[in-house]
Amino acid sequence: MTTTTVFFAALFYVATAILVLGLARKIYQYASTPAPLKIPTTPAPTTKTGVVLRMAREVILFESLFKSNKWIWLFGWLFHVGLAVVLFRHLRYFQYPVWDIVSLELVQAAGKYASFAMVAGLIGLWARRFLVDRVRYITTLSDHLILLLLIGIGITGMSMTFVSHTDIVGLKAFMLGLMRFEINPLPEDPLLMAHLALVATLMIVFPISKLLHAPGVFFSPTRNQVDDPREHRHLAPWAAELEK
């Protein structure tokens, strides 16, 4: 067993632990912090079903962003949908046997070409950080680095798909091994190692960065509250204490 294999195995265990525990901690924090007042941005749905639909439109279609700015919507949506389709294709590296739906020709082909949409979206978003003075003003170093990280993941991945194929059988053995706590050798392809290192970095920064928007949106009281304050008394525990 090579040092590289041990290093990447360790890296993925650590990254997964940080991602899962970090996100669990933040989600627990969001879920357990009370929202003492009814603050949905109105017009808002008056039923729970309506709220589920509003949230679905928000996370699938980026409804509010669409209302706001068509360029950001286009680039942002291309990136996120591209990423989702690419990730779905990637399930095959973690499954044995692979789900039928994942092994479909269509899903695999879509997963390959969606990477172009993903990277195009990222480049568009990055360009705005230089070209629009308002966006340039609010951009931090970490905003650039996260875009760079994602573009790096996209480019290394695409290179292995379209330019120089990696030992995919070896990779799958390595990944399935990790999931069963067995360490199998990782193919020592520089592109693959770069890709995996960047992905692990993304997993590590996820719970300590703005990537928290992913769980955060579901807990946003302006989007997830039902507009029914006159019909139901809404009282946080700490606010109820004031009545005693």
| Positions that interact with another protein (CB under 8 A) | 26, 29-30, 33-39, 41-46, 50, 58, 62, 64-65, 67-69, 72, 76, 125, 128, 132-135, 137-143, 145, 208-210, 212-213, 216-217, 219-223, 227, 229-236, 238-240, 242-243
Query: Would you state the torsion angle of the CA atoms of residues 193, 194, 196, 198, taken in this order, to the nearest 10 degrees?
Result: 160
Beta strands in 124-237 (DSSP E): none
CB of 44 to another protein, least distance (A): 6
How far is it, in rounded angstroms, from Cα 76 to Cα 148? Answer: 15
CB of 129 to another protein, least distance (A): 8
CA 7 to chain centre: 25
Separation of first and last alpha carbons in the chain: 66
CB of 128 to another protein, least distance (A): 6
Nearer to another protein (CB atom), residue 177 or residue 215: 215
Nearer to another protein (CB atom), residue 60 or residue 87: 60
Cα distances (Å, whole numbers) of residue 186 to 1, 3, 11, 62 = 9, 10, 13, 38
Nearer to another protein (CB atom), residue 4 or residue 41: 41
CB of 94 to another protein, least distance (A): 27
